[in-house]
Amino acid sequence: MTSNYTDISPCVPDDKLCITREYQLAVIVVPALLLSLTLIFLMIISILLCCNQGTRVRTPRQHTTNHRETHRNQNHRHNLHGIDAPPGIDPLEHEEVPMRVQNTHHNVKPTLAPARHASPERHVAAARHGSPERPVAGARHGSLVSHAAPTSQTSTGRPLGNFSQVTALMPSFYIKPNDTVSLYRACMDNRDVILRALKENASNSETQDFLGFASFLGELGPHPFIPALLGVVSVQSPLLIVMEELRHKDLLGFLWKCREDNTGHDMTEKRIFTMAGQVASALDYLHSQGCIHRNIGARNVLVGGDMAAKLWGLGSAYQRKQANYTGVAEDMELKKWQAPEVLARRTATNSSDVWSFGILLYEMVTLGDPPFAHIMLTELLQYLQRGKTVKRPTNCSNTLYSIMKSCCHWTPQERPSVTELIRILNVGEKSANGSTVLRVPEPLNIEKYRRETGYGEAFNYAVL
C-alpha cells in the first residue's frame, strides 16, 4: 500500500500539509462552490416567494381602490340607472332602476292589441337575474294588455317595476323604417317614458350594437339638454333602453305644427334664441367629451312640455366611435346639413358641427323649411365654393342672420366656437323680439320637402 501511494503522490504519508495542498481543489474549492450556488438559489427562491406574497397582499387593496373609484363614478351619474347589466356593459353594470311591480295571476296571459299595431314583443318587463317575466299592465291603442288584478308587492330585496300604459309609438316623420328597434310610450313611476325595444329576431351583432349604444349614452352622463337615460333592461328579452319622453317630440314636427298654429305655443325670435342656446349648451358638452355630433338638425332636436330643447340623434356619433366602423353612420347624415369640408370628404371637426348649427337656425326661423331648397344635392358643394351661403329668410332679424352666416362661413377657422356661440345667443336673447309670432304662409308639402332636402333613402332618424 505504501509503495502504491508513493508512486502516485509526491507527498510522504506523514506529511498532512502536503497532502492537503495536493487535494485542496477536490476537497475544499469544489464543495465551497457547490455550497455557494446552493445559497444563491435559496436566496432567489426566497425573493420570488416574497414578491408573490406581496402581490397577494396588494390585490385586495387594489380591489378596494377600484371599488371606491366605481362608487365615485356612480355618484357622478346619480341619475343614471341600469337593470342588472351583464359584465362588459360598463358603466351600466350593477346599477338598478327603481321600479315597482305588482304580482299577477300566473294563469293570465297578456293579449296583443289589433293587428295593425302588433309586434314581436309579447310583453315588456323589468328584468333581473333569475327572475320570471312579468306581464305589463295594459292600455289601448297598440299596448300590451293584462287583465290580472294586482296583489301584494313581492319581496325581492329591491323594488322591481313595470311599465304601464304601453302604447306603440310611430315617429312623426321617417323615411326608412328601423327593422330592429320598436318604439313605445309608457309610464314608469308616474313618469312618461319612451321604450326603445330590441326586436326578438335581432342578430347577435344587432344586440351588441343595441347594448353598446346604451353604454355610450351612459358614458356621456347626464346633461340638462340631452334626453335622460333612465334605465336599461339587458338580461332578459325584450332588451330595452328607457328614456325620458319629451312631450312635443322632434323640433322639425313641432315647427311644422307651428305653421298650422295648432301647438298652443308661439314661435318667436326670442324663443329661437332660447332654444338655440340650449342646443348649443348640449353640443358644447358633447365636444368636451370628445364627441362630434355630425347630424345636427331640427329632426334631431326634441322639445319638452316646458319648451326646453334637447339634442338627440346620437346614433351617428356612436357608430363613428366604434373600432369596427364601416361607414353605416353616413346613412344617417343628411348632406344639406353638412359643412363643405365634410361634403368634400375631409375630416369633420367641432367647427363642422357649428356649420350644421347655423342650418338649424335657418330651419327654426323658417318654421321647418329645407335649406338650399333650389340647389340640387350634386351641385351643393360647387354652390358653396362660389361663396354662396344660406339666404336670409324674410322674417329673420339682422342679428339672427349674422349669427347664421358666421356659423356657415366657408373657412372652419372663421366660424365661432360653440362657447362663443353660447355667449352670443345669451346676449341676443335679451334684446330679441318676444312678441311677434313667426308665420309662414306656405303649407307644408312632404313630398316636396323630401325632394328638396335630398332625403332619398336616408336612415330613419327615429325620435327616440
pLDDT value at residue 29? 74
pLDDT value at residue 325? 66
Residue 60 CA to residue 82 CA, distance in Å, equals 27
DSSP bridge pairs for 241 = 196, 232
What is the pTM (predicted TM-score) of this model?
A: 0.66
Q: Are residues 369 and 443 in contact, defined by beta-carbon separation less than 8 angstroms?
A: no
pLDDT value at residue 132? 32
Q: CB atoms < 10 A from the CB of 152, how many?
A: 7
pLDDT value at residue 30? 77
How far does CA 262 lie from the centroid of its chain? Answer: 33
DSSP bridge pairs for 186 = 193
One digit per residue, the tens of pLDDT, for the chain of length 464 reads 444 444 556 676 666 677 667 766 666 777 788 888 888 888 888 888 877 665 544 444 444 444 444 444 444 444 333 443 333 333 333 333 333 333 333 333 322 233 333 333 333 333 333 333 333 333 323 222 222 222 233 222 223 346 788 888 766 555 455 678 888 888 888 889 999 999 888 999 999 999 999 999 999 999 999 999 999 988 888 899 999 999 999 999 999 989 887 667 889 999 999 999 999 999 999 999 999 999 999 999 999 999 999 999 998 888 888 866 666 666 567 899 999 999 999 999 999 999 999 999 999 999 999 999 999 988 999 999 999 999 999 889 999 999 999 999 999 999 999 999 999 999 999 999 999 999 887 888 888 888 888 875 444 444 44
Task: Tell which residue, 225, 186, 199, has the closest CA to residue 97.
Answer: 186
Q: Which residue has the cell 313667426?
A: 438
3-state SS, residue 350: helix
Entry field: residues in the chain: 464
Q: Are residues 255 and 364 in contact, defined by beta-carbon separation less than 8 angstroms?
A: yes
Cis peptide bond N-terminal to 91, omega within 30: yes
Q: How many angstroms separate the Cα of 462 from the Cα of each of 65, 81, 173, 314? A: 41, 23, 8, 11
For 353-356, the CB contacts below 8 A with 24+ separation are: 353/283, 353/287, 353/292, 353/293, 353/294, 353/296, 353/418, 354/407, 354/415, 354/416, 354/417, 354/418, 354/421, 355/407, 355/408, 355/412, 355/415, 356/293, 356/294, 356/295, 356/296, 356/297
173: left (phi over 0), alpha (psi -120 to 50) or beta: beta
How far does CA 95 lie from the centroid of its chain? Answer: 16
pLDDT value at residue 327? 64
How far does CA 37 lie from the centroid of its chain? Answer: 61
HSE value, Cβ hemisphere, 13 Å, CA-based, for 111: 10
